[in-house]
């Protein structure tokens, strides 16, 4: 009897340790609570946040990331933000004529929010129109530009504030799937 009890406790402790290692270093679930990523991600959907791969590789334009917002923008309950990487260290971000330009080239952004499918996407606006992204920082924006507190308001975000990259939408089941990351070939063809 004592041996059986010991095995149960041992299994529970091992399960807890495995869970904590996975949650803290590999992946963790995240519930979308803001409207800033509509229609890519809707409120109350769940995504799996990859915390391991970004430790081995850099974040890229188009990645969707979960991060701790700047202190002045943090919510009382500590909810992290979720946004898309628009610019990386060294990039010059400019907003003009409703478009986002990276290093002088307008981004093709099919993921930007539109009121109805087939409608034109929202124009991107900002009080400031130019930023230079420092090394080890990211310029982040929501896909629903008119409903997003992002780098247009609080500036680039240090990479150390990034919790991880959202890569899998898993709930509700009818939207289950890997989140695509745009490659932005227009930027590659504009490079010297």
| 31-55 pLDDT tens trace | 998 889 998 999 999 999 988 877 7
pTM above 0.75, yes or no: yes
CA distance 11 to 52: 25
Task: Assess whether 36 carries a catalytic annotation.
Answer: yes
Q: What percent of the chain has pLDDT over 70?
A: 92
* Predicted local distance difference test score (pLDDT) of residue 155: 94
Residue 21: per-residue pLDDT: 61
Over residues 129-145, mean pLDDT: 95
The catalytic residue among 31, 51, 60, 83 is: 83
- Is the domain 2-187 a CATH 3.90.226.10 member? no
Mean pLDDT across 48-68: 88
**Domain boundaries along the sequence of the chain:** 2-187
Q: Is 83 in the active site?
A: yes
- Position 77 scores a pLDDT of 83
- Mean pLDDT of the residues in the chain: 87
What strands, in cross-sheet order, belong to the sheet with 92-96? 105-106, 99-102, 92-96, 130-132
Helix runs in the chain, H state only: 2-21, 53-56, 151-154, 185-190
Residue 190 confidence (pLDDT) above 60: no
What is the pLDDT at residue 156? 97
Q: How far is Cα 52 from Cα 27, in angstroms, rounded to an integer?
A: 7
**pLDDT classification of 100: cutoffs 50, 70, 90:** very high
């Amino acid at each position: 009897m004592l041996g059986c009890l010991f095995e149960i406790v041992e299994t529970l402790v091992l399960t807890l340790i495995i869970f904590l290692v996975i949650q803290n270093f590999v992946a963790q679930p995240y519930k979308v609570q803001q409207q800033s990523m509509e229609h890519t991600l809707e409120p109350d959907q769940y995504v799996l946040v990859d915390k391991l791969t970004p430790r081995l590789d850099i974040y890229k334009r188009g990645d969707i990331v979960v991060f701790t917002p700047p202190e002045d923008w943090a919510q009382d309950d500590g909810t992290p933000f979720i946004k898309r990487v628009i610019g990386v260290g060294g990039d010059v971000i400019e907003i003009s004529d409703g478009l986002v330009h990276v290093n002088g080239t307008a981004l093709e952004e099919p993921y930007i929010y539109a009121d109805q499918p087939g409608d034109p996407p929202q124009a991107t606006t900002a009080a400031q129109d130019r930023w230079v992204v420092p090394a080890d920082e990211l310029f982040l924006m929501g896909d629903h530009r008119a409903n997003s507190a992002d780098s247009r308001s609080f500036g680039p975000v240090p990479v150390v504030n990034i919790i991880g990259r959202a890569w899998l939408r898993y709930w509700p089941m009818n939207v289950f799937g890997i989140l695509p990351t745009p490659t932005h070939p227009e930027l590659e063809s504009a490079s010297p």
